[in-house]
Amino acid sequence: MIVVASASGYGYGPKPDVGSSKSDTPRKEFLPGVFSVQGTIYCKSGSKVFPLKGGVMRITCLGIDKDGYETAPFSILSRPTDANGYFLSKLSSQLLEDDGVKISQCKVFLHTCPLRTCPVATDVNNGLSGAPLSAYRPIGFNSMRLYSVGPFVYSSEPQKSSPYGY
């Protein structure tokens, strides 16, 4: 007769990895079915900064399909900004959800500027690298989420880099 004994799991040493229970795995957060994104765009020309009328933002999102796989990125464009440089885009994921896809994350990018005098997109507030949607404010009786990004800036000239790297 052979007897095998082990002292593992009695509070000393590492605990064996027996797999994680469903409650231990982080739950993937999804954006709601309907949400809005708002922000402003400015033009910086020399020392002057003014609201940019007619600027367009690109909202790029990732989704998770019904099998848990990440989808290819997809984008929508905002309506052009008003005279105050303001944009507001309402997004609905209804068509995606009908196909079993939920939006997992979105970023907002500068897309186009109508002014020839302000053609250079800058990365102020992640306008080039993409501003993530994070904090939101619930609005209306159904508490729709309103995400705010920016303000974003176009410039009349390229940003000069410092000889010191910052």
pLDDT at 82: 98
CATH 2.60.40 fits 34-155, yes or no: yes
The answer, yes or no, to whether residue 76 has pLDDT greater than 70, is yes
The two beta strands, 34-45 and 144-155, are parallel
- For the CA atoms of 161, 164, 165, 166, what is the dihedral angle to 10 degrees? -70
User: What are the structural domain ranges in the chain?
Assistant: 34-155
Instruction: Report residue 80's pLDDT band, with 50, 70 and 90 as the boundaries.
Output: very high
Q: How far apart are CA 78 and CA 55, in angstroms?
A: 9
Instruction: Report residue 95's pLDDT band, with 50, 70 and 90 as the boundaries.
Output: low
pLDDT at 64: 87
Instruction: Report residue 13's pLDDT band, with 50, 70 and 90 as the boundaries.
Output: very low
The answer, yes or no, to whether residue 137 has pLDDT greater than 60, is yes
pTM over 0.95: no
